[in-house]
């Protein structure tokens, strides 16, 4: 049966857009799988792997203030450690729709078989700025200062760091389905991490991921980080892979729900 340009049924007009969406998802998943297989096949003993499971729970107090908690578990076979993450209720202040100010604390306990167990207390403060646009893309620059206070073998050390993440989060659906339940989105960013006490670039990370919105209250993300480390005497080189399953739970308060993602690590 043939149709002219003027009498094509609506359900057939919708098919090409659905095919385009599925192609985008398939290509993105394929790229992630290729990267994952390549990284997992690395035989260089200097390249380590970390496997992370994390959870972020957000709940707004009002339109300007959002509370969130962070918890998780990390395991690294090559480094012979596993860590447990937790936090008290942390704060996001939103003076403008395109600006978020963070104040947070992360507590980490690490069971380290090679160097002794440790506790870490990490206060964090930072500013996340979005680039306004009409395509519903989350394009941002996130600058934060953190100080890692690590207690290990009865010694306390301080590692002050400055981090700046440049990233994008883009929906893979079209039209009104962007950021709607039962839709996918992708994320990508790069992040240099500076060690301030030694005045040098310590780590550079590149991240890619795929997220799925189950409903207004629940999202899940698979993320891969490539980590490039640098010492005072050695140039930057690929030294680690991070594999992260990240769950995001959005609680509401009197019908008010924070529409954007809170992320921290």
Complete domains list, the chain, with CATH: 17-250 (2.40.160.40)
| Rounded distance between C-alpha atoms, residue 186 and residue 24, angstroms | 10
CA–CA–CA angle 131, 169, 159 (5° rounding): 85
Rg (CA), the chain: 21
CB 240 within 8 A of CB 227: yes
pLDDT digits (tens, 9 = 90+) for 66-94: 999 999 999 999 889 999 999 999 999 99
pTM value? Answer: 0.81
**Residue 3 or 248, more confident:** 248
Q: What is the mean pLDDT of residues 56-74?
A: 94
| Rounded distance between C-alpha atoms, residue 103 and residue 52, angstroms | 23
| Rounded distance between C-alpha atoms, residue 264 and residue 246, angstroms | 11
Is residue 235 pLDDT above 90, yes or no? no
Within a 13 Å sphere around the CA of 30, how many CA atoms are in the beta-carbon half?
6
- Give the SS3 label for residue 41: coil
CB 91 within 8 A of CB 102: yes
Sign for the pseudo-dihedral over CA of 72, 41, 230, 151? positive
pLDDT digits (tens, 9 = 90+) for 110-163: 999 888 899 999 999 999 999 999 999 999 999 999 999 999 988 999 999 999
**Residue 264 or 36, more confident:** 264
Burial track 106-123 (b if 16+ CB lie within 10 A, e otherwise): bebebeeeeeeebebebe
Is residue 19 pLDDT above 70, yes or no? no
Q: What is the mean pLDDT of residues 159-169?
A: 97
Q: How far is CA 153 from CA 108, 112, 234, in A?
A: 15, 11, 28
Q: What share of the chain is helix, strand, coil (3-state, %, to 5)?
A: 15, 60, 30
pLDDT at 65: 93
Is residue 18 pLDDT above 80, yes or no? no
pLDDT at 27: 63
pLDDT at 11: 44
Question: DSSP characters for 174-212?
Answer: -GGGTT-TTEEEEEEEEEEEEETTTTEEEEEEEEEEEEE
Most confident among 38-42, 214-218, 261-265 (mean pLDDT): 214-218
pLDDT-derived band of residue 15, with 50, 70 and 90 as boundaries? very low
């Amino acid at each position: 049966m043939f149709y002219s340009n003027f009498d094509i049924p609506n359900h057939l007009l919708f098919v090409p857009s659905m095919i385009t969406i599925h192609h985008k998802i398939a290509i993105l998943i394929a790229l992630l799988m290729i990267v994952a297989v390549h990284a997992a096949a690395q035989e260089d003993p200097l390249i380590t792997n970390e496997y992370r499971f994390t959870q972020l729970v957000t709940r707004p107090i009002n339109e300007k203030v959002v509370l969130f908690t962070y918890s998780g578990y990390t395991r690294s076979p090559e480094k012979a450690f596993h860590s447990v993450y937790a936090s008290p209720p942390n704060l996001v202040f939103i003076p403008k729709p395109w600006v978020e100010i963070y104040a947070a604390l992360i507590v980490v306990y690490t069971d380290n078989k090679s160097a002794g167990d440790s506790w870490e207390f990490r206060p964090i403060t930072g500013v996340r700025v979005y680039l306004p646009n009409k395509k519903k893309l989350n394009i941002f620059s996130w600058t934060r200062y953190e100080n890692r206070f690590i207690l290990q073998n009865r010694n306390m050390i301080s590692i002050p760091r400055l981090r700046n993440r440049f990233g994008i989060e883009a929906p893979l659906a079209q039209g009104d389905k962007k950021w709607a339940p039962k839709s996918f989105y992708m994320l990508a960013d790069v992040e240099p991490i500076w060690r301030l006490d030694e005045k040098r670039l310590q780590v550079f990370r590149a991240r890619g991921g795929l997220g799925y919105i189950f409903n207004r209250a629940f999202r899940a993300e698979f993320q891969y980080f490539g980590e490039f480390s640098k010492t005072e005497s050695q140039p930057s080189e690929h030294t680690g892979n991070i594999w992260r399953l990240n769950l995001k739970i959005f609680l509401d308060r009197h019908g008010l729900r924070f529409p954007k993602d809170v992320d921290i690590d």
